[in-house]
Amino acid sequence: MRALLATPCRRLHDPALCGLTRRRTASQSVAVPHAAVAARCQQSTDPAVPGPLPISVSPDSNLPSAVDVVVIGGGIIGAMTALELASEGVSVALCDKGEIGCEQSSRNWGWVRLSQRDPREIPLMIEAIRRWEGLDARLGRKTGFVQSGILFTARNARQMARYEAFSRHLAEYRIDSDVLDDQGMRNLIPEHGMKLAGGLHTPFDGRAEPQLAAPAIAEAARDAGAALYTRCAVRSIETSAGRVSGVATERGRIACSSVVLAGGAWSRLFAGNAGVELPQLKVMNSVLRTTPVSDGPEQGIWADAFALRKRADGGYTVSSASDKIHHLTPDTFRLARQFLPAVRAEWSSLRLRLGRWQEEASLPRRWAGNERTPFEHYRMLDPPPDDRSLQRALAAARSAFPALETCEVVQSWAGMIDVTPDAIPVISAADNVPGLFISTGYSGHGFGIAPAAGRLTADLVTGTTPLVDPAPFRLSRFFDGSPVTLDAGF
């Protein structure tokens, strides 16, 4: 990692794009096999946050024979769920096929956002931000959380009307969200060069460092009594007398009475083997980070052509605000009817590709607990970034904020986002497998909402009065005739 950071970088507008750390074609595999994972997730001691690779978490060594709960997935949702359970005295084993936080939990924008949320998520997100405010003190570790505010820009009256409606809705929760005209925007960010009708500014929003947060939460979960097992894929769920009785892992069996599936993009594949239909697909988003910049915006900024966030190292995380790639796979067609409203709503920003069809079509969909699984072959999803999308995004960001003209690209990456047909998560018991709970499908909103989502997931497992009404997040909504409505999108 030090060698990477010491290597001179070229600007992203260089045709060779040699400031980027990876050069692969879309036809190349986007998953990293077992042997490469430890090297990719090695610890960085550089004070500047290291990029898309999270701070390494050393695993525990001895697999327990029995615990109360096994959490599958070491991303920020699984880690937060483990922390909440362990803090209540529940014995927990958290198992990940790769490393803690090595997929989307460390690859997202780092936004902690109430702005422009689906109304069904707002109560949970308010709780999440309140928990972020005290999270570093609770963990005894840094997550990089700063309540900096986030600003959504508007170029036309239609966008302004949407922001005004959202601001009125937030007022019901006594949360300030300011609808600004063009002059108000210039007062807030005088350095910008955009032509705008106005925008929506929510001071309650903030930012955190994805490479720090999930590892910090996982370590705190261990402090509270949880055990952490990396490169330890859970293969299958075992049942007895009609309910969960244990799991089979690649390292042996763990008896348990409950399982939490927080596998992100992999959750559908695992759930299917357990006999649970989970309508979830994957979309890809590309991100870059820059060298430090003076006089750039403190707020997170969303504009039509780019989104950005100031980083703890003084640089910026930059991405397209809208470009999303979905690789057509057999699941695309299996779930076509359920996802049709989402495809229609996202069509202008969704691009379809075929690069993963053969790879996903060849994956087994059923296996026994004593058989090697796809999770052991593909330890980490590491898709090549979309260089053209990043070129456009950085050019637009530089046009909007001239201070970015002098920055250089340090690194780029991409991540696979787990999405549901209505773009809100599943936080729910699996009704046909008593003892199995699912926390997945966060649709690009999972990082910011994690402190509250982990609490809600733990409440469902323990039978505690839930933090918020979990009904909007029930898995059965996709099968009980409820209308599937898409509000905020992916």
What is the tens place of the pLDDT at every residue in 206-216? Answer: 999 999 999 99
**Residue 351 to residue 211: CA distance in whole angstroms:** 28
- The residue that leads in pLDDT, 363 or 112, is 112
Q: Which domains does the chain have, with CATH numbers?
A: 2-149+204-478 (3.50.50.60)
pLDDT at 421: 96
pLDDT at 490: 65
pLDDT at 259 over 80: yes
State the pTM of this model.
Answer: 0.89
What is the tens place of the pLDDT at every residue in 15-38? Answer: 222 223 333 333 343 454 444 433
pLDDT at 192 over 60: yes
What is the tens place of the pLDDT at every residue in 299-321? Answer: 999 999 999 999 999 999 999 99
Least confident of 36-50, 138-152, 217-231: 36-50
What is the tens place of the pLDDT at every residue in 393-432? Answer: 999 999 999 999 999 999 999 999 999 999 999 999 999 9
Q: Work out the end-to-end distance of the chain between its first and last CA atoms, rounded to an integer number of angstroms.
A: 32
pLDDT at 15: 27
Angle between helices 210-223 and 76-87 (to 10 degrees): 20
Mean pLDDT (whole number) for 222-247: 98
Average predicted confidence (pLDDT) for the chain = 89
Least confident of 23-27, 111-115, 366-370: 23-27
- The residue that leads in pLDDT, 128 or 11, is 128
CB crowding 324-337: b at 16 or more within 10 Å, else e: bbbbebebbeebee
pLDDT at 349 over 90: no
Q: Contact, 446 vs 77, CB < 8 A?
A: yes
What is the tens place of the pLDDT at every residue in 316-344? Answer: 999 999 889 999 999 999 999 999 988 88
pLDDT at 357: 85
**Residue 107 to residue 52: CA distance in whole angstroms:** 5
